[in-house]
Amino acid sequence: MIKTYSQRLTPPFSGMVQIAESERARALTMDGNTWEIHFRHATAGDGRSGPHLHSHGYRRVAHVRQSDMATISEQGTQDGRDIDERILELTRFLTRVDLPFPAADEYEYWLLDAKDEAPLAMVFSCTEAEHMPAFPVRLEWTALPAAVMPIEATAEEKAHSSAPVNYRVERLVAERAGNRPKARWFRRRPNETDTFPGMLLREDWDDEADHALCQRYLLRQSTRLLMLHGLADDDRSRLEQASRPHVMDVARFHAMYPLVIDNELMSTIRVEARMRGLSVDNDPLHNRRDGVLYL
């Protein structure tokens, strides 16, 4: 039996990681193009750690491209080498699944606003309550690094050698959390959005400059935020419009979007990526491996 689900990749939020999990191994992907294979193994404390701690772990053993899966599954070999049965079980399954998988990480750890102790920014998420003690106590929110998600500086910012928007938003969030920050776990279904920021970070900033800075960060992150399940249609539409300049990111992640509001726009963006001859494989920004932490 193979279980499929997705969950948010944090910290910082990088998108939704898709997971296919058997009793012996699992396969993970951020974009549906390359799958990372992990073998399951018992931990040193297996059976003695208590009911609330992991009794098993995973080790990374291989990467498999989606384009190679059919051949590997049929032949059972790659480059003349026999493929482990645990990998074959997953690849044979993954040749016939539809992406994205349903979101399963309903347990969320939020940094709180110092004024009203309402959710300010999401730090972690996980799929089971018993996993929560495995996460570190981290009373801070981190932005996606500028090296991963560069945000274009204005002429004024260049003239003053301002820090990247990413890290200035980090400081804003830290200041709003206060000198004695608080955080807590919540259990939330994807459609329970009334008291939670839809884009995982509050957008209501009193200072106009702070609001503009936060918007620049979130809208630049649009291609990854579109992977979220349960987004309000207005938010999704706004993010789709914001993704227009970032054709490479859309080309990489569009198959992971659970819903598209403006199909014509998304098609136009993908066509533009192909016309430019862009490829995820030859873009150095995307040749990095998105790490999977605390899973």
Is 211 within a domain? no
Is 10 within a domain? yes
Is 220 within a domain? no
**Position 48 confidence tier, pLDDT thresholds 50, 70, 90:** very low
Domain that holds residue 163: 105-202
Same domain, 164 and 193: yes
Q: Using alpha carbons only, what angle is made at residue 164 by residues 163 and 170, rounded to the nearest 5 degrees?
A: 90
Same domain, 110 and 150: yes
Is 99 within a domain? no
Predicted confidence at residue 45, as pLDDT, reads: 53
Predicted confidence at residue 144, as pLDDT, reads: 96
Predicted confidence at residue 295, as pLDDT, reads: 46
Residues ≥6 apart with Cβ < 8 Å to 127: 5, 7, 104, 105, 106, 107
Count structural domains, the chain. 2
Convert the pLDDT of each residue in 97-114 to its tens digit: 999 999 999 999 999 999
Same domain, 115 and 198: yes
Of 202, 231, 260, the residue at which a domain comes to its end is 202
Of 54, 75, 94, the residue at which a domain comes to its end is 94
* pTM of the predicted protein model: 0.88
Convert the pLDDT of each residue in 207-247 to its tens digit: 999 999 999 999 999 999 999 999 999 999 999 999 999 99
Give buried/exposed letters for 71-83 (b at 16+ CB in 10 A, else e).
Answer: ebbeeeeeeeeeb
